[in-house]
Amino acid sequence: MSSKQHCVKLNDGHLIPALGFGTYKPKEVPKSKSLEAACLALDVGYRHVDTAYAYQVEEEIGQAIQSKIKAGVVKREDLFVTTKLWCTCFRPELVKPALEKSLKKLQLDYVDLYIMHYPVPMKSGDNDFPVNEQGKSLLDTVDFCDTWERLEECKDAGLVKSIGVSNFNHRQLERILNKPGLKYKPVCNQVECHLYLNQRKLLDYCESKDIVLVAYGALGTQRYKEWVDQNSPVLLNDPVLCDVAKKNKRSPALIALRYLIQRGIVPLAQSFKENEMRENLQVFGFQLSPEDMKTLDGLNKNFRYLPAEFLVDHPEYPFVEEY
């Protein structure tokens, strides 16, 4: 990992760059846009790229990485690439093949971080979002602790440097941490986290266990129609946030990212625009005062843009717990 990068140390000794580039793409955006955006992100200086099997852009991300390695823009060892195990592949025998499929698409020998996308298993098969005749999600009964053991094996096999989870509540994390014969702790829990959902209790819990909180939706999500209620509040238009931004002569987006970074959280910033990508990297160039941090703490309303309603009928649905 290049020394120019601001990094956070994971509990297994590896370093994760303190700001990541998110690659989720809604259906209406063409895949070529993902390739273009990932190339731009690497050009402007991002070295932490977060993707997932379910985003269906791993091939484009792989092409971008390979083209920038060939062009001498980056070296593989300077990159931190994350991808995620999808819910339909939680059966133990499906874990390694799923990772190998992702690696093939990404054109990589290993990923830096492999995480379980949700704590909820779905029926395996050809469909990533399997549903019954009534349109209800087809869920499964795999114990995620069994899935975790296979992630540990993938780490031992050198296919991945670090392993973690996403969208787990503290009770679910506790189950992995207390699992008999646990070999590796999760290095991170990637969750929705922003000024309206500041995850204070989950952050305190994760810090007490030396687990890094990685934030998606850090700027209040891109508000994609498919997943986000269009009547939900627009985070970056928040008047209190805009006041703090004005006072610091920075954009609301930079303030929103800086707020997370100062709390030890690793935010993922997603954009298809070069000017925004460049601007977001300026987050390390200033600090927010304790007063500003306190003001911004006051914006929390435990509001979730992405409640993952397609998993709500499963006993492991994570968001019924307070944290």
Residue in the block written with tokens 């580039």: 21
Summarize pLDDT for 95-144 with one digit per residue, the tens: 999 999 999 999 999 999 999 999 999 999 888 999 998 888 999 999 99
163 assigned to some structural domain: yes
**Quick check: is 311 in a domain?**
no
Structural domain includes residue 127: yes
Tell me: is residue 14 an annotated ligand-binding position. no
Whether the CB-CB separation of 161 and 113 falls below 8 Å is answered with yes
Could you give the CA distance from residue 88 to residue 95 in angstroms, rounded to a whole number?
Answer: 10
In a domain, 281, yes or no: no
pLDDT of residue 229: 75
pTM of the model: 0.95
| Average model confidence (pLDDT) across the chain | 95
- Give the residue among 46, 45, 42, 25 at the shortest CA–CA distance from 266: 46
Q: At 144, which amino acid appears?
A: F
Who has greater pLDDT, 175 or 2? 175
Separation CA 193–CA 222 (nearest Å): 13
In a domain, 71, yes or no: yes
For 266-296, the pLDDT digits (tens) are 999 999 999 999 999 999 999 999 999 999 9
Higher pLDDT, 17 or 125: 17
Query: Tokens for 75?
Result: 């070296």
Question: In this predicted structure, what is the pLDDT of residue 2?
Answer: 42
CA-based radius of gyration for the chain: 19
Residue 179 resides in a domain: yes
Give yes or no for a contact between 300 and 57, defined as CB atoms under 8 angstroms apart: no
For residue range 212-250, what is the model confidence (pLDDT) as tens digits?
999 999 999 766 766 777 778 899 999 999 999 999 999
154 near 113, Cβ under 8 Å? no
Establish whether 55 is a catalytic residue.
Answer: yes
Q: Residue 3: pLDDT band by 50, 70, 90 thresholds?
A: very low
320 by Cβ neighbours in 10 Å (0-12 / 13-18 / 19+) ranks as exposed
Strand partners, 186: none
Q: What stretches of 134-293 adopt beta strand conformation (E)?
A: 160-166, 188-192, 212-216, 266-269
Domain that holds residue 137: 16-228+265-274
The Cα–Cα gap between 96 and 253 comes to 38
| 7 band by pLDDT with thresholds 50, 70 and 90 | very high
Q: How far apart are CA 188 and CA 165, in angstroms?
A: 6
* Residue-level pLDDT at 226: 67
Query: Is 255 contained in some domain?
Result: no
Helix residue ranges per DSSP H, 45-143: 58-70, 92-106
Number of structural domains (the chain) is 1
Query: Which member of 55, 196, 259, 317 is catalytic?
Result: 55
Residue 53 sits in a domain whose CATH number is 3.20.20.100
Does 61 reside within a domain? yes
What value, to the nearest 5°, has the Cα angle with vertex 162 and ends 33 and 23? 10
- Nearest Cα neighbor of 103 from 93, 94, 91, 112 is 112
Two structure tokens written together for 165: 């989870």
Residue 155 has pLDDT above 60, yes or no: yes
- Summarised one tens digit per residue, pLDDT across range 59-101 is 999 999 999 999 999 999 999 999 999 999 999 999 999 999 9
Mean per-residue pLDDT, 180-193 = 98
